Amino acid sequence: MTVPTPCCATVDGTCPELVLDRFAMRYGRHPAVAAIDLAIPPCAITAIVGPSGCGKSSLLAGLNRLDELVPGAVVTGSVRWRGRDVRARDQDVPTLRRSLALIAQRPVPFPLSIANNLALPLRDHGCPRTEVAARSERALRQVGLWEEVRHRLGQSATTLSGGQQQRLCLARALALGPEVLLLDEPCSALDPVAAGVIEDLIVSLRGFYTVVLVTHDLAQARRVADHVAILWPTPHGGRLVVSGGPDQLDGHTCGDPAISAYLRAQRVAGATTSASAVLDA
């Protein structure tokens, strides 16, 4: 099994970039995402923010073709990664999904031991048996879980706390050597302390991986992201209304009072309930 090198470590500096070109998605007749053009910069954290139902998670699933598991999901336009359409006929889907790893909103540990949660995907992707333990340990250290679980690797992963399970899921993906991490509201099912740990972890990945973080929390996006894209629900599906650095969002009205009100409300909410604030307290 060849392990992709984290993008910023490539010698020639040609970091892969994800480019969405008129990307749209619908479920049957119900539109989820309107035609979106977006370039996701490499080795940076890009947050996709928006209210519920704006198509954030659908967009994320469309990036590594997980939408294909949903009956009736139809994607148009293209997603180019490393200059190739991810939906090209000769694209190897398991390899694509290993390289563009998606971590779900709710942690889903496999009903196996902690060790086997990491070992199963590694072995399935052809990792030699002699390397499995070392790669698992490296990934667990990367997410700061090694010291907590090193003496109970044989125990069921479901005995871990919610925050630990989410870090295990992240480690499971990292062990496979992905280049892009697709994080679908990874903190939303966690308590503020566990959410703070995951947030710090995401920040620590900056520069090593291209991270696409879906969140409904604009304050979180401001704290961790280098780039923010805001999706807004419309009858034609989620539409991209703002895209740029977090600072560029201030005072943005988009010509739509509803969006301005949303941005204002998020600013107020973020000032009072940020995970960092809770941690500091």
**Which one, 56 or 222, has the nearer CB to another protein?**
56
Q: Residue 152 interacts with another protein (CB under 8 A)?
A: no
Nearer to another protein, 81 or 262 (CB): 81
Beta carbon of residue 101, minimum distance to another protein (angstroms, whole number): 7
Q: Can you tell me the distance from the alpha carbon of 268 to that of 262, in angstroms, rounded to the nearest whole number?
A: 10
How far apart are the C-alpha atoms of 109 and 162, rounded to whole Å? 10
Classify 62 in phi/psi space as left (phi over 0), alpha (psi -120 to 50) or beta: alpha
Contacts of 212 (CB under 8 A, 6+ apart): 18, 40, 46, 48, 60, 63, 180, 181, 182, 183
- Site for another protein (CB under 8 A): which residue of 14, 91, 158, 161? 158
- Determine which residue in the list 46, 57, 113, 243 makes contact with another protein, applying CB under 8 A: 113
By CB under 8 A, which span of 79-87, 153-161, 228-236, 256-264 interacts with another protein?
153-161
183 binds another protein (CB under 8 A): no
Which one of 36-44, 97-105, 141-149, 219-227 is the stretch in contact with another protein (CB under 8 A)? 97-105
Q: Is residue 102 a contact point for another protein (CB under 8 A)?
A: yes
Give me 236's structure tokens: 């034609």
CB of 20 to another protein, least distance (A): 19
Nearer to another protein, 124 or 191 (CB): 124
Question: In terms of CB distance, is 116 or 274 closer to another protein?
Answer: 116
Tokens of 32: 């989820």
| The two three-digit tokens of residue 114, written as one number | 């902690």
Q: Does 157 bind another protein (CB under 8 A)?
A: yes
The answer to whether the beta carbons of residues 238 and 59 sit under 8 Å apart is yes
Cβ distance to another protein smaller for residue 57 or 274: 57
**Strand 210-215 relative to strand 30-40, pairing:** unpaired
Q: How many Å apart are CA 41 and CA 137, to the nearest integer?
A: 29
Measured N-to-C along each axis, helices 192-204 and 162-175 cross at an angle, to the nearest 10 degrees, of 20
Q: In the set 64, 165, 220, 274, which binds another protein (CB under 8 A)?
A: 64
Residues in contact with another protein by the rule CB under 8 A: 64, 66, 69, 71, 93-98, 101-104, 106, 108, 110-113, 116, 120-121, 124-125, 154-158, 169, 172-173, 176
